[in-house]
Amino acid sequence: MSPSTPTRRHGARAVALVAGVAAIAILATGCSSSASTDTSTGAAASGSGDKNYAITFLPKNLGNAYFDTSDKGGSKAITEFGGTYAEVGPATAAADAQVSFINTLTQQGVGAIIISADDPTAIGSALNEARAAGTKVVTFDSDTDPQYRDLYINQATADGIAKIEVDLITKQIGDTGEVAILSASANATNQNAWIETMKKELAANHPNVTLVDTVYGNDDDQTSFDKTAALLQSHPNLKGIISPTTVGIAAAARYLQTSQYKGKVALTGLGTPNQMRDYVNDGTVTAFALWNPADLGYLAAFGAKALIDGTITGKEGDKFTAGALGEFTVGKDATVLLGEPFTFTKENIADFNF
Partner 1 sequence: MTISAPADSRTGTRVYADYGRPFWMRLLLTREMAVIVALILVIVIASLEVRRFGTTTTLGFLLLDVAPILMIALPMTLVIMMGEIDLSVASTLGLSSVLLGILTQAGWPVPVAIVACLVMGLVAGLINGLLVTVVGLPSLAVTIGTLALYRGIAVGLLGTTAVTSFPAFWTGLAQSKFGSTGIPVAMVLVVALIVVFVALLHFTPFGRGIVAIGFSTETAHFSGVHVNRTKVVAFMLTGLIAALAGIYWTFRYGSARGDNAMGLELSVIAAVLLGGVSIFGGKGAIHGVIAGVLLIGVLQSALRLANVSSDVINIITGALLILSVLSPRFLSWFRSLRFRRATPEKQKQ
The residues binding partner 1 (CB under 8 A) are 2-18, 20-22, 24-29, 31-33, 35-36, 39-40, 44, 62, 86, 88-91, 94-96, 99-101, 103-104, 106-109, 119-125
Residue 18 or 350: which CB sits closer to partner 1? 18
Q: Of 9 and 319, which has the nearer Cβ to partner 1?
A: 9
Considering beta carbons, is residue 89 or 273 the nearer one to partner 1? 89
Compute CA distances 340 → 165, 249, 313, whole Å. Answer: 11, 20, 24
Query: Judged by CB, which is closer to partner 1: 15, or 203?
Result: 15
- Name the residue nearer to partner 1 (CB basis): 120 or 331: 120
Minimum distance from CB of 102 to partner 1 (Å)? 9
Q: Which is nearer to partner 1, 137 or 266 (CB)?
A: 137
Smallest separation (angstroms) from partner 1 to the CB of 7: 5
Residue 293: CB minimum distance to partner 1, A? 21
In this structure, how many other beta carbons lie within 10 angstroms of the beta carbon of residue 54?
Answer: 27
Question: In the bound complex, what is the minimum distance in angstroms from residue 1's beta carbon to partner 1?
Answer: 8
CA distances from 164 to 156, 157, 285, 291, 339 (A): 11, 11, 15, 11, 12
Instruction: Write down the least CB distance from residue 272 to partner 1, Å.
Output: 21
Three-class HEC string of the chain: CCCHHHHHHHHHHHHHHHHHHHHHHHHHHHHHHHHHHHCCHHHHHCCCCCCCCEEEEECCCCCCHHHHHHHHHHHHHHHHCCCEEEECCCCCCCHHHHHHHHHHHHHHCCCEEEECCCCCCCCHHHHHHHHHCCCEEEEECCCCCHHHCCEEEECCCHHHHHHHHHHHHHHHHCCCEEEEEEECCCCCHHHHHHHHHHHHHHHHHCCCEEEEEEEECCCCHHHHHHHHHHHHHHCCCEEEEEECCHHHHHHHHHHHHCCCCCCCCEEEEECCHHHHHHHHHCCCCCEEEECCHHHHHHHHHHHHHHHHHCCCCCCCCCEEECHHHCEEECCHHHEEECCCCEEEECCCHHHCCC
Nearer to partner 1, 22 or 186 (CB): 22
Q: How far is the CB of 104 from partner 1 (least distance, A)?
A: 5
Nearer to partner 1, 45 or 204 (CB): 45
**Nearest CB to partner 1, comparing residues 86 and 232:** 86
Among 290, 203, 279, 201, residue whose Cα is nearest residue 244: 290
Q: Least distance (Å) from partner 1 to the CB of residue 266?
A: 33
Q: Considering the complex, what minimum distance in angstroms separates the CB of residue 206 from partner 1?
A: 35
